[in-house]
Structure 1
Amino acid sequence: MPDLVRPTAVASLPAGQVEYRLERRGDTVVVVFHGGHVRASLALGEDVFAAADCTLLAPSRPGYGRTPLSTGSSVEGHTDVVRALCADLGITRVAAVVGVSGGGPTAATMAARHADLVERLILVSAVGWLPYPDRRTRLGAHVVFATGTEAVTWAGIHALTRLAPDVCLRLMMSSLSTRPVGEVIAALRAEDRDLLLSLFAQMRSGRGFLNDLRPTPDATARIDQPTLVIATRTDGGVPFAHAQSLASTIRNAQLVESRAHTHLVWLGPDWLAIAERIRLFLDTDPTAAVGPARSGT
């Protein structure tokens, strides 16, 4: 299986300890806020930024990895911590802040709260400010990802990746697509299966996922930066309505509709075209409005 794990460091800031991964390349800096059950050490969906020679900063959000929940546990507080981390690392401009899945509200709030630092916003399969998740899922999450059960839940999933990989894929992918899980599994390439199993073998929730479910103030009305919202209608993890809402309420947003079958749009058949769209977006003048939201790659 491919190894998604990368080395991380820990910064001790006035607000507390924060884990991060910094991959220095060119002058263009991208900050990536990963989604639920993922921490800074897992490099997922970042190839487009490496190919564009971007320096990448990925912090672990509160409760994930080695970032304790006490370090800016609110979305607003964590964006202040990340700004301080950027200053500590000598980063004075961020070409784009990227929010993936559950990292969407943090990225959007970072753009709104620190507009003098952040030039663009990219939201990928992102949670917005519509009600999320549904009541049944929320109640289930408080059972399987509670402090006393989270480690047991993930130990079972990690064991399945080794002992019964097909069972693991069906179990996990059933919640990531609205399509029949048999169709989703059948459409996976061998390299996709390997990547997914490698991802599922490393995921943990810590105290971060339940913290993600706390309400946070809607920042969309305060975002003026050019924004790309990327999502698929068959996302079973975050309903497509979140992308539509984000694209319609952020002033300078474009909605890019993926043809991926699942929440993980990097595995979609049109990802190369979307990646090119992202690279072109990073090259555009951030002071120019991108026009009304629209679909298509």
Structure 2
Amino acid sequence: MATTDSARPDPPSERRAPAREMSSVARSADGHRIAYATYGPPDGDPVVFFHGTPGSRRLGALLEPAARANDVRVIAPDRPGYGRSPPQSGRTVGDAAASVRPVLNDLGVERAALVAFSGGAPYALGTAASLGDRVTGVDLVAGATPPSFGDDTPAVQRLLSGLAAATPSVLGALLRGQAWVASRADPSFVVAQYAEDADAVPEDAATVVKEDFLAAFERHRNGAVTEFRDAGNDWGIDLDAVDVPVRLWHGTDDANVPVAGAERLAEALPTAELRVLDGADHLGTLLRAAPEALSRSR
């Protein structure tokens, strides 16, 4: 079922409070390290946040004001090969739960809701499909969709997926160069990759987006290369195995992930609801949907 929401973003003043990141590292049973950060009240209802591609735990700071308002504890891991989480050779979308389970165990969390942005969507669905007994629901915000669900994949996305598959070292070098430029540029340089009008994004949100991008590459580029490669292939997820409530939030003006793909994904998921945000672009969907997504995940 799809509904359209024409509401505008919350006033910037409601998002101005600085985020307080608490960082830690969890270890899986086989010794892999997963870095993560938490935002919001430590005793709040747990929500695992899946950053985009590329991305890092730092993007969770965008959700911190809404987390405090809804008594939610946002748990934001660095997926392998991003930020402070070392790469894991051979990882796939279907392995996503292996990076979530250690974090939940480290925090003593039995069950949690999942919220994913952009390229984090397949990893949230993969987690829900294989770790369903510990997942209460999934919110996909401007989420990526399976390649077979869209015939209008943006050219940039096709290029990055092609480079990741054919010449991963070239893509890694390009990402290194982009991070170097971003570190010296105004936040609008990074924001322009996610928003139609970078100047319209509140300054505090733009700063977080830049910090997230730089943190993604602070130690590795493997995470982004791996995920751009996987984005062009079948995800290997049994969507029928996702038997918890799924909400998709998607903007009509999203140039990164066209809404048509989200409509098809919603039809393919057995328990999905699609909320269409009128006039929202890729980043705008996250800014507008986050407060309600967190309130609905409780």
In the superposition, the TM-score normalised over structure 1's length comes to: 0.76
Question: CA shift at 1:58, angstroms?
Answer: 1.1
**Does the CA contact (< 8 Å) of 2:56 and 2:83 recur in 1?**
yes
**What letter corresponds to residue 171 of structure 2 in structure 1?**
A
Task: Report the equivalent of 1:232.
Answer: 251
Unaligned runs of 5+ in 1: 284-297
**Does the CA contact (< 8 Å) of 1:126 and 1:242 recur in 2?**
no
**Does the CA contact (< 8 Å) of 2:137 and 2:244 recur in 1?**
yes
**Does the CA contact (< 8 Å) of 2:50 and 2:115 recur in 1?**
yes
Task: Report the equivalent of 1:288.
Answer: none
- Deviations 1:99-127 (CA, angstroms, capped at 9, x unpaired): 11100001011111111100111100101
**What letter corresponds to residue 104 of structure 2 in structure 1?**
C
Task: Report the equivalent of 1:20.
Answer: 36
- Deviations 1:162-215 (CA, angstroms, capped at 9, x unpaired): xxx66x37xx52x435xxx5xx256x16xx145224422541342211111213
- Deviations 1:66-109 (CA, angstroms, capped at 9, x unpaired): 11121772222231231133123211111x11111100001011
Q: Aligned to 2:172, what secondary structure does the other structure show?
A: coil
Which is further off, 140-149 or 45-54? 140-149
1:267-282 alignment, distance < 5 Å: 271=288, 274=289, 277-279=292-294, 281-282=296-297
Q: Does 1:176 pair with 2:194?
A: yes
Q: Aligned to 2:74, what secondary structure does the other structure show?
A: strand
Q: Does 1:253 pair with 2:262?
A: no
1:119-268 alignment, distance < 5 Å: 119-131=136-148, 134-139=157-162, 146-161=171-186, 168=189, 172-173=191-192, 175-176=193-194, 181=196, 184-185=197-198, 188=200, 192-203=202-213, 204-205=216-217, 206-213=221-228, 214=230, 215=233, 216-265=235-284
Equivalent residues, number: 263
Q: Aligned to 2:120, what secondary structure does the other structure show?
A: helix
**Does the CA contact (< 8 Å) of 2:250 and 2:285 recur in 1?**
no
Name segments (4+ residues, structure 1) moved above 6 Å.
1-5
**What letter corresponds to residue 157 of structure 1 in structure 2?**
A
Distance 1:195 1:233 in 2: 21
Query: CA distance change for structure 1 residues 104 and 145 in 2, over 3 Å: closer, same or farther?
Result: farther
Task: Report the equivalent of 1:77.
Answer: 95
2:105 to 87, 110, 127: 87
Q: CA RMSD in A?
A: 3.0
Unaligned runs of 5+ in 2: 1-15
Task: Report the equivalent of 2:3.
Answer: none
**Does the CA contact (< 8 Å) of 2:48 and 2:114 recur in 1?**
yes
Question: CA shift at 1:36, angstroms?
Answer: 1.4
Distance 1:35 1:65 in 2: 12
Query: CA distance change for structure 1 residues 150 and 279 in 2, over 3 Å: closer, same or farther?
Result: closer
Query: CA distance change for structure 1 residues 236 and 38 in 2, over 3 Å: closer, same or farther?
Result: same
Task: Report the equivalent of 1:58.
Answer: 76
Task: Report the equivalent of 2:132.
Answer: 115
Q: Which has the higher helix share?
A: 2
Query: CA distance change for structure 1 residues 100 and 219 in 2, over 3 Å: closer, same or farther?
Result: farther
**Does the CA contact (< 8 Å) of 1:121 and 1:227 recur in 2?**
yes
- Deviations 1:40-84 (CA, angstroms, capped at 9, x unpaired): 133343132332111221111111011112177222223123113
Distance 1:276 1:84 in 2: 27
Query: CA distance change for structure 1 residues 247 and 201 in 2, over 3 Å: closer, same or farther?
Result: same
Residue identity over aligned pairs, in percent, reads 24
Q: Which structure has the higher relative contact order (CA within 8 Å, separation 6+)? A: 2
Q: Aligned to 1:14, what secondary structure does the other structure show?
A: coil
